[in-house]
Amino acid sequence: MLNNILEVRDLKKEFTLSKDRKIQAVKGISFDVRRGEVFGFLGPNGAGKSTTISMLTTQKEATSGDILIDGESLVKNPASARRKIGVVAQHNNLDRGLTARENLIYHARYFGIDNKTANKRADEYLERFGLTERQHDYVRSYSGGMAQRLKIARAIMHNPDILFLDEPTTGLDPSYRNILWEQMLELNKAGTTIFLTTHYMEEPEQLCDRIAIVDQGELKAIGTSDQLKALIPSNNIVSIKLSNLKDEFIKEAKSLQDLEKAVIQNDLLLLYMKNEHPDFNKILEWVKTLNTSLENISLSTSTLDDVFIHLTGKGSIINE
């Protein structure tokens, strides 16, 4: 068996935006996904994540480049690739005029799964995703979160080797988000490779074996969460908790010497200093000028969020 289930070589996609405007949505990216891993594809809005997934799943044709699924060219043999991949698209592409159960069964039958197996799997997945009671209702009557769960159930009906999920947890409430992750990890344990995009940083950090960070159609970094965190110096980030945090503090922080940038993350003000071991006294003096009380100040260790901000420049008001 090949070590890599997916190989991507110099993949490009150009779109026409208007009569005289084109965009390189994907600018020649190359990477491998190993068999059996959970692989995260992270990037800000418009980075080219969905475009990449569309090409990897035969839904969009690449402008140039190669895609190998299980060692076989997807461009030359799309039908064979389709049997090996499952896709959960970002938009709702269910058949809304069919019931949930029919969506699952027709999908399995399309892939040549026999009727008995298809029905058995449908029972199992409807139960797993909490849809058994609503299985005979038209999909058009489904809520967004229910449709999302059904899309995932449908994608695994033909038992794919690699499952692509484009923002799978968006629109799911926290309990189904957890259920979905449990399901994905269970599928992964049973041998399915998982490729997903997400906006929620804490998800890939905890659950992905490796993560690629993309921005403006380019691959910025790839590796384990620890490897990515090692890309940025960690002891130059000062994390400050204030009783009253205001956006304007980001601008005011510009007056600090040695400040690279300031960012608000959750309920913390993070100061990225140019030098390691920053001068706490100076920072404390600056905090006093803000007319709010200091609850906590510490040197912070870097998170995937910091790596993302560092590599993409997104999330920092100063940089925008």
Ligand X SMILES: Nc1ncnc2c1ncn2[C@@H]1O[C@H](COP(=O)(O)OP(=O)(O)OP(=O)(O)O)[C@@H](O)[C@H]1O
The footprint of Mg ion (CB under 5 A) covers 49-50, 90
Tell me which of ligand X, Mg ion, none is bound by residue 315, counting a contact when its beta carbon lies within the kind-specific cut-off of 5 to 8 angstroms.
Answer: none
Is the separation of the CB atoms in 198 and 204 below 8 Å? yes
Cα 157 to Cα 83: distance, rounded to the nearest angstrom: 11
Residues 6 or more apart in contact with residue 308 via CB below 8 angstroms? 42, 201, 213, 314, 315
Nearer residue to Mg ion within complex by CB, 164 or 286: 164
Coil, helix or strand for 253? helix
Residues near ligand X, by CB under 6 A: 15, 17, 23, 25, 43, 45-51, 90
List the single partner that 190 binds among Mg ion, ligand X, none, CB under 5 to 8 Å by kind: none
Q: How far is the CB of 20 from ligand X (least distance, A)?
A: 14
Determine the Cα–Cα distance for residues 118 and 139; give it in Å rounded to an integer: 19
Minimal distance in Å, beta carbon 49 to ligand X?
3
Which lies closer to ligand X via its Cβ, residue 23 or residue 297? 23
Query: What 3-state DSSP class applies to 196?
Result: strand
Please count the residues of the chain. Answer: 320
The residues, any chain, with a CB within 8 Å of residue 160's CB and separated by 6 or more, are: 83, 84, 85, 86, 192
15's contact among ligand X, Mg ion, none, with CB below 5 to 8 A by partner kind, is ligand X
Minimum distance, C-beta of residue 107 to ligand X, in the bound complex (Å):
24
Residue 245, contacted partner among ligand X, Mg ion, none, CB below 5-8 A by kind:
none
The partner in contact with residue 110, picked from ligand X, Mg ion, none with C-beta cut-offs of 5 to 8 angstroms by kind, is none
CB nearer to ligand X: pick between 45 and 289: 45
